[in-house]
Structure 1
Amino acid sequence: MATSPLNPTDLYDVRSLLSEEERMVQDTVARFTDERVLPIIGDCFDRGRFPTELIPEMAELGLLGSSLPVEYGCAGMNGVSYGLVCQELERGDSGLRSFASVQSSLCMYPIYAYGSEEQRRRWLPDMAAGKVIGCFGLTEPQGGSDPGSMRTHAKKDGADWILNGSKMWITNGNLAHIAIVWAQTDEGIQGFVVEKDFPGYAAQEIHKKMSLRASVTSALYFDNVRVPDANRLPNVKGLKGPLGCLTQARYGITWGPIGAAIACLAEVLDYSKSRILFKQPIAARQAVQIKLAEMARRITLAQLLSLQLGRLKDAGVMQPTQVSLAKWNNCRMAIDIAREARDILGGAGITTEHSPIRHALNLESVITYEGTETVHQLVVGRELTGINAF
């Protein structure tokens, strides 16, 4: 009985495990990436420009706050569909996926999960429509792996709060109309919706980046910013708030690098068949085939890992340690594949005419932000031993 060839970027036919709706979401975002992102993203990376012209199209497709309820203007997708959105966007570029992750998981999610009904009605529909862009202020200049030591603070002053401090490495900072800012208070860490036009609030874009160049990264400054109590997220106190947001965003990050790795493998597969060396395509060489097979193996494992994580999320039983394991594994997988793909391309691989060098540089940020590889290793180690080694 004849068998059809396997899909080289889906050797285990993981797609067959998706529902019809999940496949439709993946196909829709894949088409958007192919038609609207890939033709321009290399130039955007070269110029250090985020393609803001794509924001209305992403909103129209329901990609902003995609897993939040439809009553707030969102698409109401399940967790696996949100993961597939992240995968297909990052197949284009990590910067585009980072934009969607921050808007959805780090800004819209805390308003939905920790905000009042008035705050949900005020912000979420316009954020889903791409009319209001958000950023997430947690990391500070002195370090990001210990958020409990943050120095940004808010003091109660009548019906308002006075906010002072700074945040660093903030995606979307100079694009944002609002910032979800976490600050120390006398009652513990609390979250505030800081509006762009509040006096004393400033965002400064960070330049000279060699990673996430097609993304806006900023520092935020708060100099006696007066924030109404109506802009405080009332339903959470302590690190539980920002860490809950990070779990949502890290979940999407477990899927995103799979897209980057698939882009690299697909490109070098084609290249290896057309690049002739010593009178043969380099695809005929054992060394190249072993590298390609290793890429396919690691992508397959990552696909299965994230799909099961998504099923756990949709069943309501996903644990943060499981997210850490997948974030650690899949980011390491993708950055290793991007580097190998660059090597197979030879000298041509150092230009952004090919995607692997761009993905490799972007993944240096992805493997670092929202928990470094070491942090996630220690999270898993703590789960295994019951001992905190931080």
Structure 2
Amino acid sequence: MTTLLKRVDREKLVLALAAPLLAVVTALAITSAVMGLTGDNPFRAYQVMVDFGSKSDSQVWIINKAIPYYLSAVAVAVGFRMNLFNIGVDGQYRVAAFFAAVVGGALTLPGFVQIPVIILVAMACGAIWSGIAGYLKATRGVSEVITTIMLNFIAGSLISYFLQEGRLAERDENIIHTPDIPDSSHFFEFSTQVQPIHGTVVIAVLAGIAYWFLLGRTRFGFDLRAVGRSQPAAEASGVSVTRTVITAMLLSGAVAGLVGMPTLLNESGNYGNDFPEGIGFTGIAIALLGRNHAVGMGLAALLWGFLERTGTQLEFEGYPQEIVGVMQGIIVLSVVVAYELVRRWGLRRQQRLVGEELAARAAGTGPRSTDDQDPAEVSA
């Protein structure tokens, strides 16, 4: 049995390396074929992307861009881990950022007090907005996909209503935005030779650590995964499915509330009609790309930022602007398909190994470990 376990462990290591390798090779092959069909040179495009992405200013830009992407992916992944599809992260972070900006612009507290207040308000608003869908799912069985999509539209309408001059916003030339947050309440930055790195990268790192620990090292994380695997089995073991679903959606929304903080606290200092939208949907792709793993999603967020940054340079080189979107879609599909194929192959492989080991032991021809031998035989 010890020999079998060692063999299975080696198989897991091989499978873990095979899946991303297969995904990368497949994505490069399909992307190269698409470029070739359009008459473009794929190898020249890759060279342009690598050269431009390796510049210092591009690296800082990619890191800053990856911060909200990563937070959005973590928010989505909390639901994914229990088969909840929180497609409403986009509305949750926009509602959270808007009301956090309103509170931040109305207060004049010291920065070390006001910054936590703004962040807590954002997390609370995101949790409340997501908790509506969680409550309906847990108590009425309403699909969270439908409710979160509808809540996205309601969030946009609610913000549009209040984001008007004379209500909760003010006009600055052609831009309508909430009152500016005091400079003392802006988040710190890490200085570099080109441009600063947003200090909210610390928030993203802490969110990733908390996600890894909570879902992978606590009883709640076990309960959450158990409910995702089988609700009847989880209930039979004493897990409250209703409470777990609602709690998971509240946590997902709380993390979603952090998505707008890099823009609010490190860039704009207010919420205006030019506040970025669509980050929540990007988070879905990044969560899939990173396989809901804390480190994997971080690498996926950096890759997404790299593609967006270098894609602008490809346009100057004469490549179609849509090529970056094609590359992003191909990469996500390649990863999803590659991991599923490798998972199925690995499952069949392990079943075959176990069958061969049991058949050999039944026939009396297979090797036996000291755990399976008689004590007298071992001492002899």
Give TM-score, length-normalised by structure 2: 0.29
RCO greater where, 1 or 2, for CA within 8 Å and sep 6 or more?
2
Give TM-score, length-normalised by structure 1: 0.28
The structure with the greater share of residues assigned to helix is 2
